Structure 1
Amino acid sequence: MSRTERIGTFTRDGLVFDVRDEGPIDGTPVVLLHGFPQDSRSWEALAPLLHRRGFRTLAPDQRGYSPGARPRARRAYRSTDLIADVVALIDRAGLGPAHVVGHDWGAAVAWGLAAERPDRVRTLTALSVPHPAAFVRAMLTSRQILKSWYMFAFQLPWIPERVLTPDGFGYRALVASGQSPDDAKRDLGPMRDRTRARGALNWYRAMPFISPRSASRKVRVPTLFVWSDGDTAIGPVGPKLTSRFVDAPYTFEVLRGVSHWIPDEAAERVDELLGNHLLDQS
Protein backbone atom coordinates (compact mmCIF):
# COMPACT_ATOMS: atom_id res chain seq x y z
CA MET A 1 0.00 0.00 0.00
CA SER A 2 0.99 3.64 -0.32
CA ARG A 3 2.69 5.37 2.59
CA THR A 4 0.04 8.09 2.24
CA GLU A 5 -2.87 5.72 2.86
CA ARG A 6 -4.38 5.34 6.32
CA ILE A 7 -5.64 2.01 7.58
CA GLY A 8 -9.05 2.00 9.23
CA THR A 9 -9.64 -1.72 9.03
CA PHE A 10 -7.99 -4.92 7.87
CA THR A 11 -9.38 -8.39 7.26
CA ARG A 12 -8.29 -11.96 7.88
CA ASP A 13 -10.28 -15.14 7.28
CA GLY A 14 -13.50 -13.16 6.87
CA LEU A 15 -13.02 -11.20 10.11
CA VAL A 16 -12.83 -7.41 10.05
CA PHE A 17 -10.58 -5.64 12.55
CA ASP A 18 -10.75 -1.95 13.45
CA VAL A 19 -7.45 -0.04 13.62
CA ARG A 20 -6.36 3.34 14.98
CA ASP A 21 -3.76 4.54 12.47
CA GLU A 22 -2.24 7.77 13.79
CA GLY A 23 0.90 9.87 13.72
CA PRO A 24 3.16 10.87 10.83
CA ILE A 25 1.97 8.97 7.75
CA ASP A 26 5.56 8.40 6.62
CA GLY A 27 6.83 7.47 10.08
CA THR A 28 8.35 4.12 11.04
CA PRO A 29 5.42 1.90 12.07
CA VAL A 30 4.84 0.87 15.68
CA VAL A 31 2.12 -1.72 16.29
CA LEU A 32 0.42 -1.34 19.69
CA LEU A 33 -1.34 -4.44 21.05
CA HIS A 34 -3.76 -3.94 23.94
CA GLY A 35 -4.58 -6.38 26.72
CA PHE A 36 -7.62 -7.48 28.72
CA PRO A 37 -10.19 -6.00 29.18
CA GLN A 38 -9.02 -3.01 27.18
CA ASP A 39 -8.98 -2.01 23.52
CA SER A 40 -6.98 0.40 21.38
CA ARG A 41 -8.02 3.32 23.59
CA SER A 42 -5.58 2.07 26.22
CA TRP A 43 -2.78 3.65 24.12
CA GLU A 44 -4.28 7.15 24.09
CA ALA A 45 -1.70 8.47 26.57
CA LEU A 46 1.34 6.86 24.95
CA ALA A 47 0.62 7.12 21.22
CA PRO A 48 0.86 10.95 20.97
CA LEU A 49 4.27 10.82 22.64
CA LEU A 50 5.47 8.36 20.01
CA HIS A 51 4.05 10.57 17.28
CA ARG A 52 6.23 13.43 18.53
CA ARG A 53 9.23 11.17 17.99
CA GLY A 54 8.18 10.65 14.39
CA PHE A 55 6.59 7.21 14.72
CA ARG A 56 3.35 6.11 13.10
CA THR A 57 1.20 3.98 15.42
CA LEU A 58 -1.16 1.19 14.37
CA ALA A 59 -3.36 0.10 17.28
CA PRO A 60 -5.90 -2.61 16.41
CA ASP A 61 -8.92 -3.66 18.40
CA GLN A 62 -7.94 -7.29 18.53
CA ARG A 63 -9.93 -10.48 18.05
CA GLY A 64 -12.98 -10.51 20.30
CA TYR A 65 -12.94 -6.72 20.65
CA SER A 66 -13.57 -5.49 17.10
CA PRO A 67 -17.31 -5.89 16.33
CA GLY A 68 -16.48 -7.62 13.05
CA ALA A 69 -14.03 -10.08 14.60
CA ARG A 70 -15.83 -11.91 17.41
CA PRO A 71 -15.96 -15.63 16.60
CA ARG A 72 -17.92 -17.60 19.16
CA ALA A 73 -15.75 -20.74 19.54
CA ARG A 74 -12.94 -20.54 22.08
CA ARG A 75 -10.62 -22.47 19.73
CA ALA A 76 -10.75 -19.45 17.45
CA TYR A 77 -8.69 -17.58 20.06
CA ARG A 78 -5.66 -19.86 19.96
CA SER A 79 -2.33 -18.06 20.04
CA THR A 80 -1.63 -19.12 16.45
CA ASP A 81 -4.67 -17.14 15.29
CA LEU A 82 -3.91 -14.14 17.50
CA ILE A 83 -0.39 -13.98 16.06
CA ALA A 84 -1.64 -14.42 12.49
CA ASP A 85 -4.02 -11.48 12.99
CA VAL A 86 -1.08 -9.18 13.73
CA VAL A 87 0.91 -10.53 10.80
CA ALA A 88 -2.09 -9.68 8.60
CA LEU A 89 -2.09 -6.11 9.95
CA ILE A 90 1.63 -5.66 9.32
CA ASP A 91 1.25 -7.08 5.83
CA ARG A 92 -1.75 -4.83 5.20
CA ALA A 93 0.35 -1.82 6.16
CA GLY A 94 2.96 -2.95 3.64
CA LEU A 95 5.70 -0.99 5.37
CA GLY A 96 8.05 -3.84 6.20
CA PRO A 97 8.89 -5.13 9.69
CA ALA A 98 7.33 -3.11 12.51
CA HIS A 99 8.27 -2.26 16.04
CA VAL A 100 5.77 -4.19 18.19
CA VAL A 101 4.65 -3.07 21.64
CA GLY A 102 2.21 -5.16 23.68
CA HIS A 103 0.67 -4.90 27.12
CA ASP A 104 -0.91 -7.71 29.15
CA TRP A 105 -2.41 -10.20 26.67
CA GLY A 106 -1.04 -7.98 23.93
CA ALA A 107 2.42 -8.66 25.34
CA ALA A 108 1.76 -12.41 25.18
CA VAL A 109 0.86 -12.06 21.50
CA ALA A 110 3.92 -9.89 20.90
CA TRP A 111 6.21 -12.50 22.48
CA GLY A 112 4.69 -15.18 20.25
CA LEU A 113 4.90 -13.00 17.15
CA ALA A 114 8.57 -12.18 17.75
CA ALA A 115 9.40 -15.87 18.29
CA GLU A 116 7.34 -17.24 15.40
CA ARG A 117 7.68 -14.45 12.81
CA PRO A 118 10.85 -12.46 13.48
CA ASP A 119 10.74 -11.38 9.83
CA ARG A 120 7.79 -9.14 10.70
CA VAL A 121 9.27 -7.66 13.91
CA ARG A 122 11.93 -4.97 14.06
CA THR A 123 11.91 -4.78 17.85
CA LEU A 124 9.77 -6.21 20.65
CA THR A 125 8.57 -4.31 23.69
CA ALA A 126 6.55 -6.26 26.26
CA LEU A 127 4.81 -4.46 29.11
CA SER A 128 3.85 -6.32 32.31
CA VAL A 129 3.71 -9.91 31.00
CA PRO A 130 6.92 -11.97 30.77
CA HIS A 131 7.88 -14.51 28.13
CA PRO A 132 5.28 -17.35 28.15
CA ALA A 133 7.81 -20.01 29.19
CA ALA A 134 9.01 -17.82 32.05
CA PHE A 135 5.42 -17.27 33.13
CA VAL A 136 4.73 -21.03 33.19
CA ARG A 137 7.84 -21.65 35.28
CA ALA A 138 6.75 -18.94 37.67
CA MET A 139 3.33 -20.58 37.95
CA LEU A 140 5.03 -23.83 39.00
CA THR A 141 7.66 -22.42 41.33
CA SER A 142 6.19 -19.36 43.04
CA ARG A 143 3.04 -17.67 44.25
CA GLN A 144 2.22 -16.68 40.68
CA ILE A 145 -0.48 -19.35 40.51
CA LEU A 146 -2.30 -17.60 43.35
CA LYS A 147 -2.02 -14.23 41.62
CA SER A 148 -3.48 -15.83 38.49
CA TRP A 149 -6.61 -17.23 40.17
CA TYR A 150 -8.84 -15.28 37.78
CA MET A 151 -7.50 -17.23 34.80
CA PHE A 152 -9.11 -20.34 36.24
CA ALA A 153 -12.31 -18.50 37.22
CA PHE A 154 -12.67 -17.23 33.65
CA GLN A 155 -12.97 -20.83 32.41
CA LEU A 156 -16.50 -20.93 33.85
CA PRO A 157 -19.39 -20.38 31.43
CA TRP A 158 -21.70 -17.35 31.63
CA ILE A 159 -20.73 -16.12 35.09
CA PRO A 160 -17.60 -14.14 34.08
CA GLU A 161 -19.57 -12.35 31.35
CA ARG A 162 -22.05 -11.19 33.99
CA VAL A 163 -19.46 -9.73 36.38
CA LEU A 164 -17.57 -7.75 33.73
CA THR A 165 -19.64 -4.63 34.26
CA PRO A 166 -18.75 -1.00 35.03
CA ASP A 167 -20.86 -1.08 38.19
CA GLY A 168 -20.16 -4.54 39.64
CA PHE A 169 -17.42 -6.91 40.73
CA GLY A 170 -15.35 -6.38 37.59
CA TYR A 171 -15.15 -2.65 38.21
CA ARG A 172 -14.19 -3.11 41.86
CA ALA A 173 -11.51 -5.65 40.92
CA LEU A 174 -9.90 -3.35 38.36
CA VAL A 175 -9.84 -0.40 40.76
CA ALA A 176 -8.40 -2.62 43.50
CA SER A 177 -5.63 -3.61 41.07
CA GLY A 178 -4.59 0.03 40.69
CA GLN A 179 -6.58 1.15 37.66
CA SER A 180 -8.23 4.55 37.89
CA PRO A 181 -12.03 4.59 38.24
CA ASP A 182 -12.40 6.47 34.96
CA ASP A 183 -10.25 4.00 33.05
CA ALA A 184 -12.05 1.03 34.60
CA LYS A 185 -15.40 2.44 33.44
CA ARG A 186 -13.93 3.15 30.00
CA ASP A 187 -12.79 -0.44 29.62
CA LEU A 188 -15.80 -2.19 31.13
CA GLY A 189 -18.53 -0.05 29.55
CA PRO A 190 -18.34 -1.92 26.20
CA MET A 191 -18.54 -5.24 28.07
CA ARG A 192 -22.27 -4.69 28.45
CA ASP A 193 -22.30 -6.20 24.97
CA ARG A 194 -22.14 -9.89 25.87
CA THR A 195 -20.56 -10.81 22.52
CA ARG A 196 -17.64 -8.55 23.34
CA ALA A 197 -17.36 -9.88 26.89
CA ARG A 198 -17.37 -13.44 25.57
CA GLY A 199 -14.74 -12.60 22.96
CA ALA A 200 -12.46 -11.00 25.54
CA LEU A 201 -12.84 -13.94 27.93
CA ASN A 202 -12.20 -16.45 25.17
CA TRP A 203 -8.54 -15.42 25.20
CA TYR A 204 -8.37 -17.15 28.59
CA ARG A 205 -10.64 -20.00 27.59
CA ALA A 206 -8.36 -20.85 24.67
CA MET A 207 -5.34 -21.29 26.93
CA PRO A 208 -5.67 -25.13 26.95
CA PHE A 209 -4.90 -25.05 23.21
CA ILE A 210 -1.50 -23.35 23.60
CA SER A 211 1.33 -25.47 22.21
CA PRO A 212 4.07 -25.93 24.87
CA ARG A 213 6.73 -26.16 22.14
CA SER A 214 5.61 -22.92 20.54
CA ALA A 215 5.37 -21.11 23.88
CA SER A 216 8.94 -22.05 24.80
CA ARG A 217 10.63 -20.70 21.66
CA LYS A 218 13.26 -18.06 22.21
CA VAL A 219 12.97 -14.53 20.89
CA ARG A 220 15.77 -13.39 18.61
CA VAL A 221 14.94 -9.73 18.00
CA PRO A 222 16.01 -6.75 20.16
CA THR A 223 13.74 -6.81 23.20
CA LEU A 224 12.68 -4.41 25.94
CA PHE A 225 10.66 -5.83 28.82
CA VAL A 226 9.03 -3.46 31.32
CA TRP A 227 7.48 -4.72 34.55
CA SER A 228 6.07 -2.73 37.46
CA ASP A 229 6.52 -3.69 41.10
CA GLY A 230 2.95 -2.63 41.95
CA ASP A 231 1.50 -5.27 39.62
CA THR A 232 -1.01 -7.42 41.51
CA ALA A 233 -1.38 -9.89 38.61
CA ILE A 234 2.26 -10.59 37.73
CA GLY A 235 4.79 -11.37 40.43
CA PRO A 236 8.57 -10.87 40.14
CA VAL A 237 9.65 -14.45 39.34
CA GLY A 238 8.47 -14.59 35.71
CA PRO A 239 10.05 -11.26 34.86
CA LYS A 240 13.36 -12.33 36.42
CA LEU A 241 13.37 -15.56 34.37
CA THR A 242 12.55 -13.90 31.06
CA SER A 243 16.13 -13.15 30.03
CA ARG A 244 16.68 -16.91 29.58
CA PHE A 245 14.30 -16.86 26.63
CA VAL A 246 15.76 -13.93 24.69
CA ASP A 247 18.76 -14.54 22.45
CA ALA A 248 19.22 -10.94 21.30
CA PRO A 249 19.96 -7.53 22.85
CA TYR A 250 17.74 -7.42 25.94
CA THR A 251 16.79 -4.69 28.39
CA PHE A 252 14.73 -5.25 31.55
CA GLU A 253 13.27 -2.24 33.34
CA VAL A 254 11.28 -2.15 36.60
CA LEU A 255 8.89 0.74 37.21
CA ARG A 256 8.67 1.44 40.92
CA GLY A 257 5.31 2.19 42.48
CA VAL A 258 3.38 1.60 39.26
CA SER A 259 0.43 -0.77 38.94
CA HIS A 260 -0.28 -3.31 36.21
CA TRP A 261 -1.79 -0.60 34.00
CA ILE A 262 1.49 0.72 32.66
CA PRO A 263 0.35 2.41 29.40
CA ASP A 264 -2.24 4.51 31.24
CA GLU A 265 -0.26 5.17 34.40
CA ALA A 266 3.32 5.61 33.19
CA ALA A 267 3.09 6.69 29.55
CA GLU A 268 5.87 9.27 29.80
CA ARG A 269 8.30 6.82 31.37
CA VAL A 270 7.47 4.18 28.74
CA ASP A 271 7.93 6.76 26.00
CA GLU A 272 11.38 7.57 27.38
CA LEU A 273 12.34 3.89 27.36
CA LEU A 274 10.91 3.38 23.89
CA GLY A 275 12.72 6.43 22.59
CA ASN A 276 16.04 4.71 23.22
CA HIS A 277 14.90 1.21 22.27
CA LEU A 278 13.12 2.03 19.01
CA LEU A 279 15.44 4.71 17.71
CA ASP A 280 18.48 2.46 18.20
CA GLN A 281 16.88 -0.02 15.76
CA SER A 282 15.15 2.36 13.29
Structure 2
Amino acid sequence: METGAVKANGVEFGYLAEGPPDGPLALCLHGFPDSAHTWRHLMPELAADGYRAVAPFMRGYAPTGVPEDGAYQGGALAADAVALHEALGGRDDAVIIGHDWGALATYGAAAFAPERWHRVVTLAVPPVAVMLSAFFTYDQLKRSFYIFLFQTPLAEAAFGRAFVEGLWRDWSPGYQDVDGEVERVMDCLATPENVAAAIGYYRAMFDPDRHAPRYAAEQAAAGKVGERPVLYLHGQDDGCLGADAVMPDGGPAGVLAHLPPGSAAESIADAGHFLHLERPDVVAARIRAWLRA
Protein backbone atom coordinates (compact mmCIF):
# COMPACT_ATOMS: atom_id res chain seq x y z
CA MET A 1 0.00 0.00 0.00
CA GLU A 2 1.27 3.42 -0.97
CA THR A 3 1.67 6.41 1.34
CA GLY A 4 1.57 10.03 0.35
CA ALA A 5 0.64 13.57 1.32
CA VAL A 6 -1.44 16.32 -0.24
CA LYS A 7 -2.44 19.86 0.74
CA ALA A 8 -6.20 20.44 0.85
CA ASN A 9 -8.32 23.08 2.59
CA GLY A 10 -5.21 24.51 4.21
CA VAL A 11 -4.22 21.21 5.86
CA GLU A 12 -1.42 18.81 4.92
CA PHE A 13 -3.11 15.39 4.72
CA GLY A 14 -1.18 12.16 4.95
CA TYR A 15 -2.89 9.25 3.22
CA LEU A 16 -2.77 5.60 2.23
CA ALA A 17 -3.58 4.65 -1.36
CA GLU A 18 -4.06 1.62 -3.55
CA GLY A 19 -5.18 1.08 -7.13
CA PRO A 20 -4.44 2.55 -10.57
CA PRO A 21 -3.51 6.26 -10.51
CA ASP A 22 -5.97 7.00 -13.33
CA GLY A 23 -8.87 5.06 -11.78
CA PRO A 24 -11.96 6.74 -10.35
CA LEU A 25 -11.29 8.15 -6.90
CA ALA A 26 -12.69 6.21 -3.93
CA LEU A 27 -12.24 8.50 -0.94
CA CYS A 28 -12.39 6.55 2.35
CA LEU A 29 -12.81 8.59 5.55
CA HIS A 30 -12.21 7.16 9.03
CA GLY A 31 -13.66 8.10 12.41
CA PHE A 32 -12.79 8.00 16.12
CA PRO A 33 -10.76 6.51 17.69
CA ASP A 34 -9.36 5.14 14.47
CA SER A 35 -7.02 5.79 11.57
CA ALA A 36 -6.74 5.43 7.81
CA HIS A 37 -5.52 1.87 8.38
CA THR A 38 -9.11 0.91 9.17
CA TRP A 39 -9.70 0.65 5.40
CA ARG A 40 -6.88 -1.82 4.75
CA HIS A 41 -9.30 -4.67 3.94
CA LEU A 42 -11.63 -2.66 1.72
CA MET A 43 -9.04 -0.73 -0.29
CA PRO A 44 -7.62 -3.75 -2.17
CA GLU A 45 -11.18 -4.76 -3.06
CA LEU A 46 -11.86 -1.31 -4.46
CA ALA A 47 -8.54 -1.35 -6.32
CA ALA A 48 -9.51 -4.70 -7.86
CA ASP A 49 -12.57 -2.95 -9.30
CA GLY A 50 -10.36 -0.29 -10.85
CA TYR A 51 -10.72 2.44 -8.24
CA ARG A 52 -7.94 4.64 -6.95
CA ALA A 53 -8.70 4.09 -3.26
CA VAL A 54 -7.35 6.87 -1.02
CA ALA A 55 -7.73 6.89 2.77
CA PRO A 56 -6.57 10.16 4.34
CA PHE A 57 -5.81 10.55 8.01
CA MET A 58 -8.48 12.99 9.15
CA ARG A 59 -7.60 16.53 10.26
CA GLY A 60 -5.61 16.42 13.48
CA TYR A 61 -4.69 12.72 13.18
CA ALA A 62 -0.95 12.37 12.47
CA PRO A 63 0.63 12.32 9.97
CA THR A 64 -2.06 14.79 8.88
CA GLY A 65 -1.50 18.20 10.41
CA VAL A 66 -3.44 19.88 13.18
CA PRO A 67 -5.50 22.57 11.40
CA GLU A 68 -4.60 26.16 12.16
CA ASP A 69 -8.27 27.20 12.08
CA GLY A 70 -9.10 24.84 14.95
CA ALA A 71 -12.34 23.81 13.23
CA TYR A 72 -13.73 20.31 13.68
CA GLN A 73 -17.47 20.64 13.09
CA GLY A 74 -19.22 18.70 10.34
CA GLY A 75 -18.94 21.59 7.90
CA ALA A 76 -15.14 21.64 8.18
CA LEU A 77 -14.95 17.88 7.63
CA ALA A 78 -17.21 18.13 4.59
CA ALA A 79 -15.04 20.94 3.23
CA ASP A 80 -11.99 18.73 3.69
CA ALA A 81 -13.59 15.93 1.67
CA VAL A 82 -14.51 18.26 -1.18
CA ALA A 83 -11.02 19.79 -1.16
CA LEU A 84 -9.43 16.32 -1.16
CA HIS A 85 -11.54 15.37 -4.18
CA GLU A 86 -10.09 18.39 -5.97
CA ALA A 87 -6.50 17.88 -4.79
CA LEU A 88 -6.48 14.19 -5.68
CA GLY A 89 -7.80 14.76 -9.18
CA GLY A 90 -11.26 13.36 -8.57
CA ARG A 91 -13.83 13.39 -11.35
CA ASP A 92 -17.61 13.03 -11.43
CA ASP A 93 -17.16 9.25 -11.24
CA ALA A 94 -15.62 9.48 -7.75
CA VAL A 95 -17.20 7.69 -4.80
CA ILE A 96 -17.05 8.57 -1.11
CA ILE A 97 -17.15 6.13 1.81
CA GLY A 98 -17.20 7.21 5.46
CA HIS A 99 -17.26 5.52 8.86
CA ASP A 100 -18.21 7.23 12.15
CA TRP A 101 -17.01 10.87 11.88
CA GLY A 102 -16.08 10.03 8.32
CA ALA A 103 -19.76 9.24 7.74
CA LEU A 104 -20.76 12.71 8.93
CA ALA A 105 -18.16 14.21 6.60
CA THR A 106 -19.59 12.07 3.80
CA TYR A 107 -23.17 13.23 4.31
CA GLY A 108 -22.03 16.84 4.24
CA ALA A 109 -19.74 16.50 1.22
CA ALA A 110 -22.33 14.59 -0.81
CA ALA A 111 -25.04 17.16 -0.03
CA PHE A 112 -22.79 20.18 -0.56
CA ALA A 113 -21.20 19.03 -3.84
CA PRO A 114 -23.29 16.17 -5.29
CA GLU A 115 -21.80 16.66 -8.74
CA ARG A 116 -18.45 15.34 -7.45
CA TRP A 117 -19.71 11.94 -6.25
CA HIS A 118 -21.13 9.09 -8.30
CA ARG A 119 -21.93 6.88 -5.28
CA VAL A 120 -22.07 7.35 -1.50
CA VAL A 121 -21.57 4.86 1.37
CA THR A 122 -21.74 5.46 5.11
CA LEU A 123 -21.15 3.13 8.05
CA ALA A 124 -22.04 3.16 11.76
CA VAL A 125 -23.37 6.74 12.02
CA PRO A 126 -26.78 7.46 10.45
CA PRO A 127 -28.03 10.83 9.19
CA VAL A 128 -28.02 13.59 11.79
CA ALA A 129 -31.81 13.54 12.27
CA VAL A 130 -31.76 9.82 13.07
CA MET A 131 -28.76 10.16 15.35
CA LEU A 132 -30.40 12.94 17.35
CA SER A 133 -33.60 10.99 17.89
CA ALA A 134 -31.62 7.89 18.89
CA PHE A 135 -29.28 9.80 21.17
CA PHE A 136 -31.80 10.58 23.89
CA THR A 137 -32.86 7.06 24.75
CA TYR A 138 -31.66 6.00 28.19
CA ASP A 139 -29.48 3.15 26.93
CA GLN A 140 -27.88 5.35 24.30
CA LEU A 141 -27.11 8.11 26.79
CA LYS A 142 -25.18 5.54 28.82
CA ARG A 143 -23.24 4.43 25.75
CA SER A 144 -22.43 8.06 24.95
CA PHE A 145 -20.83 8.91 28.29
CA TYR A 146 -17.56 9.76 26.56
CA ILE A 147 -19.18 12.60 24.61
CA PHE A 148 -20.12 14.33 27.86
CA LEU A 149 -16.70 13.62 29.36
CA PHE A 150 -15.10 15.27 26.34
CA GLN A 151 -16.92 18.53 27.13
CA THR A 152 -15.02 18.84 30.43
CA PRO A 153 -11.43 19.77 31.37
CA LEU A 154 -10.99 16.16 32.50
CA ALA A 155 -11.05 14.87 28.94
CA GLU A 156 -7.36 15.21 28.15
CA ALA A 157 -6.36 13.68 31.49
CA ALA A 158 -8.66 10.67 30.99
CA PHE A 159 -7.63 10.09 27.39
CA GLY A 160 -4.95 7.45 26.96
CA ARG A 161 -4.29 3.96 25.65
CA ALA A 162 -6.42 2.24 28.29
CA PHE A 163 -9.35 4.57 27.56
CA VAL A 164 -9.12 3.99 23.79
CA GLU A 165 -8.82 0.24 24.29
CA GLY A 166 -11.92 0.30 26.51
CA LEU A 167 -13.93 2.05 23.81
CA TRP A 168 -12.88 -0.47 21.17
CA ARG A 169 -13.79 -3.43 23.39
CA ASP A 170 -17.16 -1.90 24.28
CA TRP A 171 -17.99 -0.81 20.76
CA SER A 172 -16.94 -4.01 18.94
CA PRO A 173 -17.13 -6.71 21.63
CA GLY A 174 -16.51 -9.57 19.24
CA TYR A 175 -13.43 -8.14 17.53
CA GLN A 176 -10.18 -10.05 18.13
CA ASP A 177 -7.47 -7.57 17.06
CA VAL A 178 -8.18 -4.66 19.39
CA ASP A 179 -4.53 -4.37 20.50
CA GLY A 180 -3.34 -3.87 16.93
CA GLU A 181 -5.99 -1.26 16.19
CA VAL A 182 -5.27 0.67 19.38
CA GLU A 183 -1.57 0.71 18.53
CA ARG A 184 -2.36 2.36 15.19
CA VAL A 185 -4.68 4.88 16.83
CA MET A 186 -2.15 5.88 19.48
CA ASP A 187 0.47 6.44 16.77
CA CYS A 188 -1.90 9.03 15.27
CA LEU A 189 -2.68 10.63 18.64
CA ALA A 190 0.79 10.59 20.15
CA THR A 191 1.03 14.28 21.04
CA PRO A 192 -1.17 16.53 23.22
CA GLU A 193 -2.03 18.54 20.11
CA ASN A 194 -3.33 15.44 18.33
CA VAL A 195 -5.35 14.37 21.37
CA ALA A 196 -6.86 17.85 21.65
CA ALA A 197 -7.81 17.65 17.98
CA ALA A 198 -9.56 14.28 18.37
CA ILE A 199 -11.49 15.58 21.39
CA GLY A 200 -12.17 18.80 19.47
CA TYR A 201 -14.50 16.94 17.11
CA TYR A 202 -16.81 16.28 20.07
CA ARG A 203 -16.53 19.74 21.57
CA ALA A 204 -17.55 21.16 18.20
CA MET A 205 -20.81 19.20 18.46
CA PHE A 206 -21.95 21.64 21.15
CA ASP A 207 -20.41 24.70 19.50
CA PRO A 208 -21.23 24.24 15.81
CA ASP A 209 -21.30 27.96 15.07
CA ARG A 210 -17.62 28.37 15.88
CA HIS A 211 -15.83 29.21 12.61
CA ALA A 212 -19.32 29.40 11.04
CA PRO A 213 -18.49 32.18 8.55
CA ARG A 214 -15.92 30.01 6.79
CA TYR A 215 -17.89 26.76 6.77
CA ALA A 216 -21.47 28.02 6.93
CA ALA A 217 -22.55 26.51 3.61
CA GLU A 218 -20.96 23.14 4.30
CA GLN A 219 -22.39 23.12 7.84
CA ALA A 220 -25.87 23.76 6.49
CA ALA A 221 -25.47 20.98 3.92
CA ALA A 222 -24.36 18.51 6.60
CA GLY A 223 -27.84 18.56 8.13
CA LYS A 224 -29.75 18.22 4.86
CA VAL A 225 -30.93 15.23 2.85
CA GLY A 226 -28.74 15.17 -0.25
CA GLU A 227 -29.61 14.02 -3.74
CA ARG A 228 -27.12 11.17 -4.19
CA PRO A 229 -28.48 7.80 -2.97
CA VAL A 230 -26.62 6.40 0.05
CA LEU A 231 -25.83 2.85 1.14
CA TYR A 232 -25.92 2.78 4.94
CA LEU A 233 -24.53 -0.17 6.94
CA HIS A 234 -24.75 -0.66 10.72
CA GLY A 235 -23.45 -3.48 12.91
CA GLN A 236 -26.13 -5.31 14.89
CA ASP A 237 -23.83 -5.50 17.92
CA ASP A 238 -22.67 -1.88 17.81
CA GLY A 239 -21.80 -0.77 21.33
CA CYS A 240 -21.25 2.87 20.40
CA LEU A 241 -24.52 3.74 18.67
CA GLY A 242 -26.82 0.83 19.34
CA ALA A 243 -28.75 -0.83 16.55
CA ASP A 244 -31.73 -0.78 18.93
CA ALA A 245 -31.62 3.02 18.81
CA VAL A 246 -30.81 3.45 15.10
CA MET A 247 -33.19 0.75 13.84
CA PRO A 248 -35.56 0.22 16.78
CA ASP A 249 -37.99 -1.88 14.78
CA GLY A 250 -35.21 -4.04 13.37
CA GLY A 251 -35.72 -2.57 9.91
CA PRO A 252 -34.28 0.28 7.86
CA ALA A 253 -37.42 2.41 7.44
CA GLY A 254 -36.43 5.04 10.01
CA VAL A 255 -33.00 5.52 8.47
CA LEU A 256 -34.28 5.53 4.89
CA ALA A 257 -36.77 8.29 5.74
CA HIS A 258 -33.79 10.63 6.17
CA LEU A 259 -31.78 9.50 3.14
CA PRO A 260 -32.28 10.44 -0.53
CA PRO A 261 -34.62 8.39 -2.74
CA GLY A 262 -33.01 5.22 -4.01
CA SER A 263 -30.92 4.73 -0.85
CA ALA A 264 -30.49 1.42 0.98
CA ALA A 265 -29.87 0.57 4.63
CA GLU A 266 -28.89 -2.73 6.19
CA SER A 267 -27.74 -4.06 9.55
CA ILE A 268 -24.81 -6.49 9.50
CA ALA A 269 -25.06 -9.51 11.80
CA ASP A 270 -22.19 -10.49 14.11
CA ALA A 271 -20.56 -7.07 13.83
CA GLY A 272 -20.16 -4.08 16.11
CA HIS A 273 -19.15 -0.48 15.49
CA PHE A 274 -16.10 -1.35 13.38
CA LEU A 275 -18.09 -3.65 11.11
CA HIS A 276 -15.75 -3.20 8.13
CA LEU A 277 -12.94 -4.73 10.24
CA GLU A 278 -15.03 -7.41 11.92
CA ARG A 279 -16.77 -8.70 8.79
CA PRO A 280 -14.60 -7.33 5.97
CA ASP A 281 -15.77 -9.80 3.31
CA VAL A 282 -19.46 -9.14 3.91
CA VAL A 283 -19.06 -5.36 4.09
CA ALA A 284 -16.82 -5.25 1.01
CA ALA A 285 -19.31 -7.34 -0.96
CA ARG A 286 -22.17 -4.98 -0.06
CA ILE A 287 -20.14 -1.90 -0.95
CA ARG A 288 -18.80 -3.29 -4.21
CA ALA A 289 -22.28 -4.30 -5.33
CA TRP A 290 -23.59 -0.82 -4.49
CA LEU A 291 -20.82 0.90 -6.41
CA ARG A 292 -21.41 -1.30 -9.45
CA ALA A 293 -25.16 -0.71 -9.51
TM-score band w.r.t. shorter chain: 0.7 to 0.9
Alignment of 1:218-229 (within 5 A): 218-229=225-236
**Where do 1:119-268 residues align within 5 Å?**
119-140=115-136, 143-157=139-153, 159-166=154-161, 168-178=162-172, 179=175, 180-210=178-208, 214-236=221-243, 237-239=245-247, 240=252, 241-268=254-281
Q: Are the counterparts in 2 of residues 222 and 248 from structure 1 also a CA contact under 8 Å?
A: yes
Q: Give the drift of 1:89.
A: 0.7
Alignment of 1:37-186 (within 5 A): 37-71=33-67, 74=70, 76-97=71-92, 98-140=94-136, 143-157=139-153, 159-166=154-161, 168-178=162-172, 179=175, 180-186=178-184
Q: How many residues align?
A: 272
User: Partners of 2:179 and 2:281 in 1: how far apart?
Assistant: 20
SS at match of 1:220: coil
Aligned-partner SS, 1:57 = strand
In structure 2, distance between residues paired with 1:95 and 1:238:
32
Identity percentage over the alignment?
29
- Structure 1 stretch displaced more, 200-209 or 142-151: 142-151
Q: CA deviation at 1:60?
A: 0.7
CA contact (8 A) 1:230 1:259 kept: yes
Residue 3 of structure 1 is matched in structure 2 by none
2:31 match: 35
User: Which letter maps to 1:248?
Assistant: P
Pair 95,173 (structure 1): closer, same or farther in 2 beyond 3 Å? closer
Structure 1: 5+ residue stretches without partners: 1-5
Instruction: State whether residues 228 and 260 of structure 1, in contact with CA within 8 Å, keep that contact through their aligned partners in structure 2.
Output: yes
- Asked if the contact 1:19/1:61 (under 8 Å) is kept, the reply is yes
Tell me the alpha carbon deviations over residues 179-222 of structure 1, each in whole angstroms, 9 at most, x when there is no partner.
52222232234423211111111111111233785443112112
What RMSD over aligned residues (CA atoms) do the two structures have, in Å?
A: 2.2
Name the CA distance, whole Å, in 2 between partners of 1:235 and 1:264.
18
TM-score normalized with structure 2 length: 0.85
Which sections of structure 2, spanning at least 5 residues, go unmatched?
210-218
Shift of 1:142: 6.0
Tell me, in whole angstroms, the C-alpha distance in 1 between the residues paired with 2:220 and 2:85. Answer: 25
Instruction: Please give the alpha-carbon distance, in whole angstroms, between the structure 1 residues aligned to 2:246 and 2:35.
Output: 25
Are the counterparts in 2 of residues 135 and 238 from structure 1 also a CA contact under 8 Å? yes
Deviation per residue, 1:17-54 (Å, 9 max, x gap):
11222212222211000011111111112111221222
Q: CA deviation at 1:71?
A: 3.1
Is the contact between residue 224 and residue 250 of structure 1 (CA under 8 Å) also seen in structure 2?
A: yes
Alpha-carbon distance between aligned partners in 1 of 2:9 and 2:180, rounded to the nearest angstrom = 35
Q: TM-score, length-normalised on structure 1?
A: 0.88
Structure 1 position 73, deviation (Å): 6.4
